[in-house]
Amino acid sequence: MPPHGFLRSHEISALYGIDRTLGVADTPSRRLINQAHQRFLTGTEIVFVMLVRSAAKPNEALKADSHGMITGGVYIGNSDTLFEQATELSRRLISLRSPRYIPALCTCRRKSTGHFG
């Protein structure tokens, strides 16, 4: 089961309009994540794990998972540049393929314990 932050960010994106958020770096959900980090998580290292996925083309069927999806990229880190790179790949895949896409998954790692939560 995905972490609550993952689910909530998708709910916010759905309310705003999923077609207005896919492949876009500056969205209300991303602004809320950034604001929450600045306000409440100062001193906590955030590690983002971003998966860019899309529907497989017919010639990619052997690479696809059981849902017919392929992973176009995996981005792990905490920089805005990394997020922008993942967003750019998402935008390119959306323009080339079906708009089926699974947005970023965000997890936190506490500096003091090294545990994910």
Strand partners, 48: 77, 106
User: What is the domain extent for residue 47?
Assistant: 4-108
- Residue 79 in domain: yes
The phi, psi pair for 108, rounded to 5°, reads -115, 145
Quick: pLDDT tens for 80-102: 898 889 988 888 887 665 444 44
pLDDT digits (tens, 9 = 90+) for 10-63: 788 888 887 788 788 888 888 888 888 889 888 888 788 888 888 888 888 888
Residue 90, in any domain of the structure: yes
Q: Is residue 49 part of a domain?
A: yes
Query: Domain total for the chain?
Result: 1
| pTM score, whole prediction | 0.65
Report yes or no on 116 lying in a domain.
no
